[in-house]
Amino acid sequence: MKAALDRNRPASASPLAERLWATRRLTLDLAAPLSDADATIQPFPDASPAKWHLAHTSWFFETFVLRDHLFGYTPFDERFAFLFNSYYEAEGPRHARPRRGMLSRPSLDEVRSYRAHVDEALDRALSSLAPAALELIELGINHEQQHQELFLTDILATFAENPLEPAYGELAPPACFAVEPVSWHRGRGGIVEIGAPDDGFAFDAERPRHRVFLAAHQLANRRVTNREWREFMDDGGYRTPALWLSDGWAWAQQEGIAAPLYWREDGTEFTLAGRREIDAAAPVAHISFYEADAFARWAGARLPTEAEWEDFAASADPCLGNQLDLGGAVAPRAGGGLFGDVWEWTQSAFASYPGFAPAEGAVGEYNGKFMSGQLVLKGASCATPRGHSRPSYRNFFPPAARWQFTGVRLAQDA
Ligand SMILES: [Fe+2]
């Protein structure tokens, strides 16, 4: 194993360096069960091959830290900038996203060598990097953690395509089972503050912290369960247009949507551990915003707003607190709750906060340019790396997306 990934690094390494190497190592650990073929498949255009995630997260450090801040750095392969730039217009042209699954070369082993090359250069550079570059290391760690979650959801989508139903790893039980019946937590009304404080790491879109007004409302103490989702289905929820937003109904008809993404007709669902019985008490997962919204209307409730959720997270739900503390627990580690904890759809558009300022430089493209047609999700999922999330965290996806671990918590006006 490379020196930069030595598990016995000296205790004098900085906390930032410790987290960098732990993050880089975890990505390799996640890839360990995969063959080169597993890691090359792109199950649909919005998902990426595992191999691409491994390379792109290295490209991020190579480009924004090593190229710009390490004098004399030699890229591993000049051509990789075209292959592994995701969406940064300031970094020039790039390979088309829907074609990522066409990259049988470089091989998985070559991508591992690329990672090692970047890690060795980072190790050389760390002690002399300027504060601005260290901030980019922090961003790169958080960026790679986001890709670790995508890695798992994309592998789930990949294996779900295979009639052999391969298993990626074992599943631990959900961290939070349902408490019956649901109870309601009265949220704070009036003016509250949301958003990340000025100190500590947060993505640019979480700032600035600012005041919002909350009308009287209440939030469910837990997420909607699989059993409740089955009731919605049995009651014709997917066949009742009055429950649906117009765009959602059109989407559901066009795509033939009639159940959560990985449910099968025999009462099982496909998971990272292969096909399993659906656990009635676990939170429903792999639903779109459209489905979450229709369910809420069927239940006589609504989706929470981002501000209601965030203010709630500061005060209530030991299960929620546990989830935020754990931030989920990335796969194949034992005891981690691989299935059952989900991101929670809100009704809030992913838009800028008052006074929003994108990060400086090319990384200013990280969040701000996606503030159109996407909804905010709060919390964390079973696939979120430990410690990655926080109450101000703003995950976002288009309303029809459902290959992430997405679920729903209900809200009501009070
Ligand atoms: Fe990325």
How many angstroms is it from 143 CA to the middle of ligand 1? Answer: 6
pLDDT (tens digit per residue) in 220-266? 988 999 999 999 999 999 999 999 999 999 999 999 999 999 999 99
Nearest to residue 172, comparing CAs of 385, 337, 26? 337
DSSP bridge partners of 277: 268
What's the mean pLDDT in 298-327?
A: 73
Cβ density class 63-90: b for 16+ within 10 Å, e for less: bbbbbebbeeeebbeeebbebbbbebee
Using CA atoms, how far apart are residues 94 and 399, in angstroms rounded to an integer? 26
How many angstroms is it from 88 CA to the middle of ligand 1? Answer: 9
How many angstroms is it from 59 CA to the middle of ligand 1? Answer: 9
Which of 102-111, 328-337, 375-384: highest mean pLDDT? Answer: 102-111
pLDDT (tens digit per residue) in 92-129? 999 999 999 999 999 999 999 999 999 999 999 999 99
How many angstroms is it from 397 CA to the middle of ligand 1? Answer: 14
How many angstroms is it from 232 CA to the middle of ligand 1? Answer: 36
How many angstroms is it from 409 CA to the middle of ligand 1? Answer: 28
How many angstroms is it from 318 CA to the middle of ligand 1? Answer: 32
To the question of pTM greater than 0.85 for the whole model, the response is: yes
DSSP string computed for 142-162: HHHHHHHHHHHHHHHHHHHT-
pLDDT (tens digit per residue) in 7-52? 445 545 899 999 999 999 999 999 999 999 999 999 999 999 999 9
How many angstroms is it from 25 CA to the middle of ligand 1? Answer: 17
Nearest to residue 235, comparing CAs of 183, 156, 299, 290? 299
How many angstroms is it from 14 CA to the middle of ligand 1? Answer: 25
Name the pLDDT band for 374 (thresholds 50, 70, 90). very high
What pLDDT, on a 0 to 100 scale, did the predictor assign at position 386? 84
How many angstroms is it from 57 CA to the middle of ligand 1? Answer: 6
**Type and span of the H or E element at 185:** strand 184-186
How many angstroms is it from 290 CA to the middle of ligand 1? Answer: 26
How many angstroms is it from 159 CA to the middle of ligand 1? Answer: 22
How many angstroms is it from 244 CA to the middle of ligand 1? Answer: 33
